[in-house]
Every structure is written in C-alpha cells, then in structure tokens.
Structure 1
Amino acid sequence: MEMNSELLTCGEILISRLYNLSPMGVGTSKVESLISYLCRLAEAHSVVPGTLLKSEIFPKLYKEYLLKSMKDGGSRYYDAASALLGVGKMAQNLVSVLELQTFRKDLRYLTLLPWQNFVTARELIRPIKSWCPQCLASWRENNQEIYEPLIWNIQEVEVCNIHRRFIMTRCPSCHKQIPLLSRKSRCGYCSICGVWLGSMDKDLSVDPSDYQLEVAENVEQLLSHLIESEKNFWESSSPITRIIDNDFAGSINRFAKELGFPKRSARVWYNREAQPSLKVLLRVSVGLRVPLL
C-alpha cells in the first residue's frame, strides 16, 4: 500500500492520509464496531486489513513488539483483537491512530471506551466473530452497506432482537469459529473458507429466552446512548450506586440479598472501589426492571 506523504496538502487544505470513511450507525443501537470499520476502510483502499495494519497502523503505534511480530509473521495483535473494542489502551490506541489518519472524530463510539470508568474489561467482548445471518441477508437484498454492528461482539448479547434469533458464532460452511480479526477479514464473510455468512441456517427450532431478549434490549439502549453516556450520564455516581440509593434507600445489604450478590462485592461496587462486569449490571437492570441510564 503506497502513500505519497505523511500528511498531504492541497493549498491550505489538509487531506487525510486515509479515506474519511463514515462509520455506520453512530448514535444508534446498531453502531458499527471498530474492527468492522477497519475492514471496510481497508476494502475502500483495495487492500486487506493486514496490509492496512502493517503499512499504516502498526508504525504509528510505536510498539516494538508489534513491529517485530509483523516482521516475523506473528499474530499477537490479532489474537488480542477483542481488546480493540473494549475499554482499555488497545482500543484507545487504535482509535487515536485511525482518527489521525482519517480526520474522523467519532471512532471511539465504535468501541466501549465511553464505558471505561463504569465497567470492567473482563468478559466484555466475545473473542470470535459473531453475526446475525438474517441481518446480513437483509442488507445485501436491499443493496445496503455490509458491516458488523458492535452489539454482535458483546459477550452478554446472545440474540438479535430484530429477528428474535440466536447470533451465530460458527461458520455454516467450514463449521469453525472465525477469528474476530485476521489479516484477510472481510465484513460478512468467513476469513477461513471465504463463504458468505448471510446464508440462512435451517435450524431455528430453539427460541431465545425472555431474559436473553431483555439483555439484548438493555444493551441496545446503552449503545444507542454511547455519546450521551460519556458526556452526561454516570458523572457523579455509578449505576449500582444510583440504584441502591434510589431503590433500596441506600441499603447495600438489602440490594445484595435481593439479587444474591455477596455483600462485600456490593459494597465495593457501591463505593466505586472496583468496577462491576457488564454481566452484573445487566443482571441488576433486568432483575429489578430498572434502566442503567
């Protein structure tokens, strides 16, 4: 992949090094994931993601181990791809480099970085590719852009609320779990065998539970407010602190007993000494029928 200069100019106008590609669904529950965006950006430049990372991303991250791994043909960065969508430094670093290269200012909202002060990174993002084949099939049928929403990657989300069916995690052709990111990843396709993932599977006999549907609905609400949640919500207290104060008159013991949590854990979350997992937050929200926002 060849670029003419580090920063291109045309008169007084600065031109981004990579295309200023608009992300899909920002501000909605179907916001695109950063990995999906990376794959579409690579395709827009007529290269595979591995080439884009090697030429334009890794050198800007200034990580010696990445450059060494790149030269040796290693997969260390790809193996840790789930962290690119989470709340930590890997996500922040990729966002910073991509925003610098594309002149975008909204790429952090393709990750869960807006939640970084209120949820632990543990068990947050599923480490393999996940998708709803009916969503993919519908987009192709209607000539819409093929992309992969962030919600498909969230570990606690097991169903697509639009089609009320389970999200798939194995290729229907090669029957393998697909890496979340690989050198040849492409939105809507298996990077192992190359098959289109929008083909309808025949076995839809198992219906999602009400709890699974409610979890997906709660996460949809959280994602649709990613921008606002970073700016306006959870500023003075965590969701658990607010719920204990408002619904349990400040009684940590009552809260813990009601939901079956250890009292010590509830106290730690209440005092914001540690962050709860998303699984805990969703258990609270669904169990008590209270919103997290």
Structure 2
Amino acid sequence: MERSTLYNLEPLNLNNAYIESIGSYVERIAVLHNITTGTLLSKIISPILDKKYINNINLKGGDGFYKGSNAIAGFGTTANDFRNAMEVLTTRGDLVKTTLINQGPMLTFRGLLRNKKAWCPECLETMVEVDKEEVYFPLLWNIELFSICPKHRIKLEDKCRNCNGEMNILSRTSIPGYCSRCLNWLGSKAKIEGLDTIYNPQKEYEIRKSLFAEELIALGIENNNQPFTREDVIKGLNGVVHNIFNNNIRKAANELGFKETTFRYWVKGKNLPGLDAVAKMCLTFNISLKQFLNVNISSSDILYININVEEARQINNKYDHIFISKILQKVINDNLFISIKRLADYIGCDRTLLTKIYPEECKIIIEENKKFMSTKKIKRLKQKFDELDTAFFHTIKIDEFPSVRQLEKKLGKNFLKEKELRERFNNLRNLYL
C-alpha cells in the first residue's frame, strides 16, 4: 500500500452540500501535522506544484499567492493544480469535490467567488458547542451568491469582531475558525432573538439565493462523473425563451431585467451568464437549477412568484427602509438591548446610515443599551471582586504572599489586568499587608 506524505484525511461532510472547502482542508491538515499553513504550503505543497508564482514565496516572501488564494476553490488552472497536488500528497481521489471543478463547465469566473473569507458565526459556535465536531469552513462560504446562512438566517461575516480585519482564504497563520491576524475565535451567538418575526422580502430572497448555491454544490457531488456543461446552460436559456416567452428574446430580457444585447449573447452561446443571473431566472420562475439545466420547464409548469409592487421595490433597493424602521421600533418596544454596530450588521447596512436617517430611534437604543451594559458590568465586577477576595485571603491563610503572579495562578492569566480589579487588589494589599 502506498504511503502518503500527508495524512489521508477525509474532507468533512464529503457527500452533501456543506462539504468542506479545499482551503479549510489544507488548514486542518496543517494543524494535524503541527505546522503552520504557511510552512505546509511553502515546504511541502509548493515543490509538488512547481509553479513560479508559488515558488516565489520561498525565494522572495510576499503575499501574492495568499491574496489570490480564493482561486483554489474555483475551477480554473489554479484550482486543478492545487487539487492535484493535494491528492498526490494525501493519496486521496475525491478532493475535486472540495472545489467547483465539477461545476466549472457551466460557470463563469465573474462574481463567483469571494476574495476574502466569510463565515456564519452561529455555525462555527454550533460546531463546537452543540455538535462537538471539528471546526471547518464549507465550500459554500466561498461563493459570493451565498450571503445569508439559511440555517440561522443571519448574514455571513467577513471581518473579525476583535481586530476588524479581513482574511485571505489562505494565509501563513490561518487556522479553521480563528482570525489569522489576531487569533480571535470567530464563532459567536450572533442571532438576535425576537427580530426574525418581522417579514423582510429582501432577506427572504437572499436566503433563497443561498439555497440555490446549496443546490449548485449538491449537483456537483451528484453528477461527479457526468458534470453539466456549457451547452446545458445554453439549452436551459433557450428553453426559457422558447417555452415561457414564445421565442421572444426581447420580451424575456425585459421581463427578467437583463440588457437585451447581453441576453442575446447568452442565448446564442457567445457568453455564459454569471451564477447570479442563472439564479435570478430560476428564482423568478420558482424552478430548480436541475430543472433549468435539463430544460424540464414549460409555461404551464411555471409558478411566477407572487411579489407585489412594494415587495419588488424593496428587493431591488439596496436598503429596505420600511423593514429598518420596523426593526428599530421592535428593539425599542421589546427592550432588546443591543449596540447600534451589531444592529447595523444584522440589518446589513452601515451604522452611520442608521444614526443619520433614524437619529431619535438610535439615541433611545444607545441610551438603553448603555444602562443595560452598565448594570451588567456592575454584576460582573461584583462576582470578580468576590473571587479576588476569596483568593487573596486564602493565600494569606496558607502563609503565602499574595502577589499578582500567585493570585493569577488561582484566578487565571490576566485576571488583574482590568483597572477596577487592579484597584481592588491594591486596596486589599494596603489594608491587610
């Protein structure tokens, strides 16, 4: 039996839509070998790839490859080279599923992949706290179309809450679930209970787009040996024009909201539509991607989604101010203590927009949250004071000097770093030593 250079590790969730991405797979391999992702890439993967652009990392340093590392999850040359190298090193033959290579023939690069990491903080937290499974990043999180987690109904995050930094898909110090800049844990209970009761057509549409992306991944796994092709997409487009619009390309383009010239190029096969455009057609007619590619549609089967004029306007607008206003009122009326920053993240807008357009509502929310946080801090400090007092007097009782080091051995590293605790400690020393 052939021995592998790297552990023959199976990608997580190998045969479902939430399969692990190849970037996450590389990070987990590095952790198992007790080396950094950078070392794994430069010392082990790089010689197998033998590509000038990646060998330069060894010779000159720099972040050129890391900045473009989103391409390893795609379907181009970089993705194929990287997948082949990892399969050689692990002796596995199924890593193609951790990329979009199987789906590649029917895709375009435009608007397909994110340039930076994105994640659902609730999913990461669930992996550790509930499922007790290994932390990983699904391939889905690399896809631009997948913007809201359908499981937790929250927007994916792309900046560390601790340092506010963005992360490349791969970096020298990347570890699954942690910020590669400050090593802060990226999981959290991000969902705001009580706000999901407000219907938001824009959010519901984004969730349906995320579910469409799930279907794309599932199709790549299902049709591993016979992937769909460019011709299938063109046939699907022509099926829409023929079966629904009676071969009227202009009418189809106008009703779907595409430029007529662009749409004609797609129908004639000169260019391929981006994934977002295919999703728009499928969601408009309430058909699956598989139906679209198999031209399994007819005018009698189509169920146009009943979106009224007001909802259509809300979906097309960048910000739905009716929804925002309802959210702010609910936060105030139900005493949901929350910062404006977190509220803006939940809504998907900038906090400056909230404070500028809704100054009175924001003022009330800020004041109530300040009171809540102040009360919370008082309770927390009281508990910490009690812990400090107990440790201080116990140390004296056993004839040891209550130094910072001695107390932090009992209470935990940096326990006395907080100003109020340091002052309490100094007062105790002045009174009893």
Q: Is the contact between residue 152 and residue 191 of structure 2 (CA under 8 Å) also seen in structure 1? A: no
Q: Please state how far the C-alpha of 1:233 moved relative to its aligned partner.
A: 5.5
Q: Report the 3-state secondary structure (helix = DSSP H, G, I; strand = E; otherwise coil) of the residue aligned with 2:289.
A: coil
Q: Please state how far the C-alpha of 1:202 moved relative to its aligned partner.
A: 7.0
Q: Is the contact between residue 16 and residue 221 of structure 2 (CA under 8 Å) also seen in structure 1? A: no
In structure 1, the gaps of 5 or more residues are 1-12
Residues 242 and 62 of structure 1, relative CA distance in 2, 3 Å threshold: farther
2:222 is aligned with 1:228 = yes
**Alpha-carbon distance in structure 1 between the residues aligned to 2:95 and 2:176:** 17
2:12 is aligned with 1:24 = yes
2:75 is aligned with 1:87 = yes
For residues 132-160 of structure 1, the C-alpha deviation after alignment (integer angstroms, 9 at most, x for no partner) is 11111111013211100111121121110
Q: Is the contact between residue 241 and residue 269 of structure 1 (CA under 8 Å) also seen in structure 2? A: no
**Alpha-carbon distance in structure 2 between the residues aligned to 1:196 and 1:101:** 29
- Which deviates more, 120-129 or 60-69? 60-69
**Alpha-carbon distance in structure 1 between the residues aligned to 2:280 and 2:207:** 13
- The letter of the residue matching 2:277 is V
- Which deviates more, 82-91 or 270-279? 270-279
**Number of equivalences:** 281
Q: 2:232 aligns with which of 233, 237, 262?
A: 237
RMSD: 1.9
Q: 2:208 aligns with which of 200, 204, 214?
A: 214
Partner of 1:268: 265
Partner of 2:38: 50
Partner of 1:180: 169
Q: 2:63 aligns with which of 75, 78, 94?
A: 75
Instruction: Give TM-score scaled by structure 2 length.
Output: 0.61
For residues 16-55 of structure 1, the C-alpha deviation after alignment (integer angstroms, 9 at most, x for no partner) is 1111100011221211111000101111111111111111
For residues 77-123 of structure 1, the C-alpha deviation after alignment (integer angstroms, 9 at most, x for no partner) is 10101111112111111001101111111111111111222111122
Instruction: Give TM-score scaled by structure 1 length.
Output: 0.89
Q: Is the contact between residue 122 and residue 187 of structure 2 (CA under 8 Å) also seen in structure 1? A: yes
- The letter of the residue matching 1:83 is A
Q: 2:251 aligns with which of 249, 254, 262?
A: 254
Partner of 1:197: 186
Q: Report the 3-state secondary structure (helix = DSSP H, G, I; strand = E; otherwise coil) of the residue aligned with 2:216.
A: helix
- The letter of the residue matching 2:177 is G
**Alpha-carbon distance in structure 1 between the residues aligned to 2:179 and 2:192:** 20
- The letter of the residue matching 1:272 is G
Q: Report the 3-state secondary structure (helix = DSSP H, G, I; strand = E; otherwise coil) of the residue aligned with 1:209.
A: helix
Q: Which has the higher contact order (CA 8 A, sep 6+)?
A: 1
In structure 2, the gaps of 5 or more residues are 291-433
- The letter of the residue matching 2:232 is S
For residues 251-279 of structure 1, the C-alpha deviation after alignment (integer angstroms, 9 at most, x for no partner) is 43332122021222222222322221111
